[in-house]
């Protein structure tokens, strides 16, 4: 959602802040702003719309100051206006705040502050923060911030500067990510490491309730009561270059085509072919506990939820464990049973999704064992779970999740082997599955090699306004994911269905203007899928089939076929989703949309 960046040091702050905002623009924003201290005088500039508007305004002023903050806002409280854009200031133009999250008790705080004479200029919840800090400020900014935050309820990742306590940035977080980094030329604070990783890959991730004070070249972290905290420095594997487009037109395409590599990364060092087993270092400390588990409960949102659904089929079939899946936003508000024989697995690319995090905290509160499959190193989910598996897919910048999804599926396949080999899976079967997982990078490459064929197909279908996606068993969640990809990238109405469920309603939609993408590799439900395809053909619907190489029957039935290589049934989703990613991408581009930043969406959903 919103993005925070701050710099303090010996360089001009403005270009560093603008660069940090640009690098976080993928998160989605509708307005932006910057505060720089120019010869001790605060210079505040805010703008509605694209970052270019802010850049143009700032360039006219040519600020040279070496301390400043920047923010890109995605409106929650109050409309998209310049007055609502951050930074927000106190009554004296002394204290300036940028903030991500929601201050839940802002109404009552605002009322109390207004009674004391504070004058507000925006409709935002954020504006109570500079006024509240002003209320406590007596020349010591960190102290005033700590005092103010003791009264605040809600979520915040925030950074503050004060004219009358210069040479400091104070940053604090509760439930909204914040990272700091210090090098020889100064210190940075950001809501996303990708905004500052080009300056240093050594990061300090703040935890809830922590307050950091950055001065040029140094930092300290305390809690809200000023008790000092020792912080670990995390070295990120991401290079600045990795976070760029690498010669591709869009991040989304780059990330789709990177999948042979990202899958290689998730399996690197983890397969034990001779033992028919996998080594998951991140689960070692809970290995014995997992042996006694009877159930796995997976919780996630969006695309990560579809990987959870696919994982359910894997775990039940091979590990013989009962597996339940839940959308995090539903799980957190029901009354889940957290029993000692159940392990709770949270899947998240960003590791910052508000609902997933809330569900995780609920399970922890009830004493459940928490595991994770997370891509972003040092993210909140990664830090709060007991044990987990990193995806190592590298930064995913495109809003539509692609490479993170397939690496989640591979991580789930490895977790399945891990759990199954603790139980009844034979050495022979373990070897067979491990062998097939090792082949995946090459198989994925073969599918992606059909990019041009899929582009032509997309041309043929780009003008349709509706599409149905169907699949069964392992490929039922892939039908849902394929439909989601098309919706979010090309704004075409798409429905994902379990093929067997079609007859219970959605088949009524089918006519010559409603094509169907049928995912029907040669697996245990192939015959059933063929019957469903025939039913659609009989009603005049056209079919694009995703089928296994060598399937001759399908060519007589479907209007178009995309072939994927053969593998074991459990791994077919990792191949069948690839044409669907490319198909959605091509249709989005043909329709002229910005596929990296689809309308109304943000990469990381850090508010409810």
161 binds ligand M6R (CB under 6 A): no
Q: 92, 61, 249: which is closest to 164 by C-alpha?
A: 92
Q: Residues 33, 45: contact at Cβ < 8 Å?
A: yes
Q: 35, 23, 28, 30: which is closest to 192 by C-alpha?
A: 23
176 binds ligand M6R (CB under 6 A): no
Q: Enumerate residues 6+ apart whose C-beta is below 8 A from 333.
A: none
304 binds ligand M6R (CB under 6 A): yes
194 binds ligand M6R (CB under 6 A): no
Q: Residues 20, 119: contact at Cβ < 8 Å?
A: no
Instruction: Give the residue with the Cβ less far from ligand M6R, 94 or 350.
Output: 350
Rounded-to-integer distance, Cα 11 and Cα 188, Å: 12
Rounded-to-integer distance, Cα 493 and Cα 495, Å: 7
- When binding is defined by CB under 6 A, the residue of 349, 406, 416, 542 that contacts ligand M6R is 349
Residue 168 Cβ, how far from ligand M6R at the closest point, in Å?
A: 32
* SS3 state at 470: strand
Burial class (CB in 10 A: 0-12, 13-18, 19+), 145: buried
Measured from each CB, the residue nearest to ligand M6R is: 302
Instruction: Give the residue with the Cβ less far from ligand M6R, 203 or 595.
Output: 595
Q: Where does this chain touch ligand M6R (CB under 6 A) — which range of 107-115, 272-280, 398-406, 432-440?
A: 398-406
25 binds ligand M6R (CB under 6 A): no
Residue 563 Cβ, how far from ligand M6R at the closest point, in Å?
A: 25
DSSP assignment of 125-167: STTHHHHHHHHH-SS-HHHHHHHHHTT--B-EEEEEEETTS-S
Residue 301 Cβ, how far from ligand M6R at the closest point, in Å?
A: 4
Tell me the β-bridge partners of 154. Answer: 103
401 binds ligand M6R (CB under 6 A): yes
399 binds ligand M6R (CB under 6 A): yes
- When binding is defined by CB under 6 A, the residue of 94, 181, 353, 567 that contacts ligand M6R is 353
380 binds ligand M6R (CB under 6 A): no
Instruction: Give the residue with the Cβ less far from ligand M6R, 58 or 519.
Output: 519
Rounded-to-integer distance, Cα 584 and Cα 237, Å: 30
302 binds ligand M6R (CB under 6 A): yes
Question: Would you call 603 a catalytic residue per the annotation?
Answer: yes
- When binding is defined by CB under 6 A, the residue of 32, 122, 147, 348 that contacts ligand M6R is 348
Instruction: Give the residue with the Cβ less far from ligand M6R, 159 or 580.
Output: 580
Residue 88 Cβ, how far from ligand M6R at the closest point, in Å?
A: 28
Q: 167, 189, 164: which is closest to 177 by C-alpha?
A: 189
**List 254, 473, 487, 603, catalytic entry:** 603
Start-to-end C-alpha separation, the chain: 11
Residue 304 Cβ, how far from ligand M6R at the closest point, in Å?
A: 4
Residue 375 Cβ, how far from ligand M6R at the closest point, in Å?
A: 7
578 binds ligand M6R (CB under 6 A): no
Residue 84 Cβ, how far from ligand M6R at the closest point, in Å?
A: 25
Instruction: Give the residue with the Cβ less far from ligand M6R, 186 or 302.
Output: 302
Strand 342-348 with 369-374, pairing: parallel
Residue 402 Cβ, how far from ligand M6R at the closest point, in Å?
A: 8
Q: Where does this chain touch ligand M6R (CB under 6 A) — which range of 78-86, 132-140, 299-307, 574-582?
A: 299-307
Rounded-to-integer distance, Cα 390 and Cα 407, Å: 9
- When binding is defined by CB under 6 A, the residue of 356, 416, 475, 606 that contacts ligand M6R is 356
Rounded-to-integer distance, Cα 331 and Cα 416, Å: 23
407 binds ligand M6R (CB under 6 A): no
Tell me the β-bridge partners of 210. Answer: 173, 223
**List 2, 301, 323, 520, catalytic entry:** 2
Q: What single-letter DSSP state applies at residue 398? A: S
301 binds ligand M6R (CB under 6 A): yes
Q: Applying CB under 6 A, what is the total number of residues that bind ligand M6R?
A: 15
Q: Which of residues 236-275 bind ligand M6R (CB under 6 A)?
A: none
400 binds ligand M6R (CB under 6 A): yes
Binding mask 473-492 for ligand M6R (x = CB under 6 A): ---------------x----
Rounded-to-integer distance, Cα 507 and Cα 558, Å: 17
H helix or E strand, kind and range, residue 588? helix 572-590
Strand 493-498 with 466-471, pairing: parallel
581 binds ligand M6R (CB under 6 A): no
Rounded-to-integer distance, Cα 586 and Cα 564, Å: 18
191 binds ligand M6R (CB under 6 A): no
- When binding is defined by CB under 6 A, the residue of 303, 391, 416, 548 that contacts ligand M6R is 303
Residue 494 Cβ, how far from ligand M6R at the closest point, in Å?
A: 13
- Stated length of the chain: 608
Rounded-to-integer distance, Cα 27 and Cα 350, Å: 11
Binding mask 589-608 for ligand M6R (x = CB under 6 A): ---------------xx---
Q: Alpha carbon of 304 to those of 148, 175, 227, 297, 596: distances in Å?
A: 37, 20, 38, 14, 18
Residue 350 Cβ, how far from ligand M6R at the closest point, in Å?
A: 3
Instruction: Give the residue with the Cβ less far from ligand M6R, 165 or 488.
Output: 488
Question: Would you call 2 a catalytic residue per the annotation?
Answer: yes
DSSP assignment of 471-493: E-GGGHHHHHHHHHHHHHHH--E
Give the orientation angle of helix 427-448 with respect to helix 259-267, to 10 degrees: 160
Q: Residues 346, 372: contact at Cβ < 8 Å?
A: yes
Rounded-to-integer distance, Cα 54 and Cα 71, Å: 11
377 binds ligand M6R (CB under 6 A): no
Catalytic residues, by residue number, are: 2, 603
Residues in contact with ligand M6R by the rule CB under 6 A: 301-304, 348-350, 353, 356, 399-401, 488, 604-605
């Amino acid at each position: 959602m919103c993005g925070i960046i701050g710099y303090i040091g010996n360089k001009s702050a403005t270009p560093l802040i603008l660069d940090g905002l640009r690098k976080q623009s993928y998160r989605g924003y509708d307005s932006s702003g910057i505060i720089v201290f120019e010869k001790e005088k605060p210079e505040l500039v805010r703008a509605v719309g694209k970052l270019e508007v802010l850049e143009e305004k700032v360039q006219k002023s040519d600020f040279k100051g070496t301390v400043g903050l920047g923010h890109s806002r995605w409106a929650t409280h109050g409309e998209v206006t310049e007055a609502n854009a951050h930074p927000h200031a106190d009554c004296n133009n002394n204290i300036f705040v940028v903030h991500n999250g929601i201050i839940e008790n802002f109404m009552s705080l605002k009322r109390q502050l207004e009674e004391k004479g504070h004058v507000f200029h925006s409709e935002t919840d954020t504006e109570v923060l500079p006024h509240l800090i002003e209320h406590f400020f007596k020349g010591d900014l960190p102290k005033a911030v700590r005092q103010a935050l003791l009264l605040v309820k809600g979520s915040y990742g925030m950074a503050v500067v004060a004219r009358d306590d210069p040479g400091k940035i104070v940053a604090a977080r509760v439930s909204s990510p914040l990272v700091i980094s210090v090098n020889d030329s100064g210190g940075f604070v950001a809501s996303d490491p990708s905004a500052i990783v080009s300056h240093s890959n050594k990061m300090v991730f703040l935890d809830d309730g922590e307050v950091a004070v950055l001065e040029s070249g140094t930092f300290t972290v305390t809690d809200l009561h000023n008790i000092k905290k020792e912080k670990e420095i995390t070295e990120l594997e991401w290079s600045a270059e990795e976070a760029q487009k690498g010669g591709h037109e869009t991040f989304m395409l780059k990330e789709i085509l990177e999948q042979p590599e990202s899958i290689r990364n998730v399996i690197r060092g983890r397969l034990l072919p001779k033992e028919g087993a996998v080594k998951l270092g991140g689960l070692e400390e809970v290995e014995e506990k997992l042996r006694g588990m009877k159930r796995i409960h997976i919780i996630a949102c969006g695309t990560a939820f579809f990987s959870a659904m696919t994982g359910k089929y894997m775990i039940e079939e091979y590990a013989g464990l009962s597996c339940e899946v839940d959308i995090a936003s539903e799980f957190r508000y029901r009354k889940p049973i957290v029993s000692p024989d159940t392990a709770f697995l949270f899947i998240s690319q960003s590791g910052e999704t508000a609902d997933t995090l809330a569900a995780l905290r609920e399970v922890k509160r009830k004493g459940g064992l928490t595991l994770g499959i997370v891509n972003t190193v040092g993210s909140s989910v990664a830090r709060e779970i007991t044990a987990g598996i990193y995806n190592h897919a590298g930064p995913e910048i495109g809003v539509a999740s692609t490479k993170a999804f397939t690496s989640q599926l591979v991580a789930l396949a490895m977790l399945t082997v891990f759990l199954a080999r603790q139980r009844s899976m034979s050495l022979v079967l373990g070897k067979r599955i491990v062998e097939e997982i090792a082949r995946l990078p090459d198989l994925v490459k073969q599918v992606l090699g059909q990019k041009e064929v899929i582009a032509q197909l997309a041309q043929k279908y780009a003008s349709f306004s509706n599409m149905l996606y169907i699949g069964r068993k392992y490929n039922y969640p892939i039908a849902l994911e394929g439909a989601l990809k098309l919706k979010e990238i090309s704004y075409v109405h798409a429905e994902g269905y379990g093929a067997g469920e079609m007859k219970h309603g959605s088949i009524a939609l089918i006519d010559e203007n409603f094509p169907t993408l049928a995912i029907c590799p040669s697996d245990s439900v192939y015959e059933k899928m063929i019957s469903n395809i025939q039913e659609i053909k009989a009603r005049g619907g056209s079919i694009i089939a995703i089928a296994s190489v060598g399937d001759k029957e399908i060519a007589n039935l479907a209007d178009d076929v995309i072939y994927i290589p053969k593998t074991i049934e459990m791994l077919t989703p990792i191949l069948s989703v690839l044409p669907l990613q490319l198909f959605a991408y091509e249709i989005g581009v043909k329709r002229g949309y910005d596929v990296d930043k689809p309308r109304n969406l943000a990469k990381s959903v850090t508010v409810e």
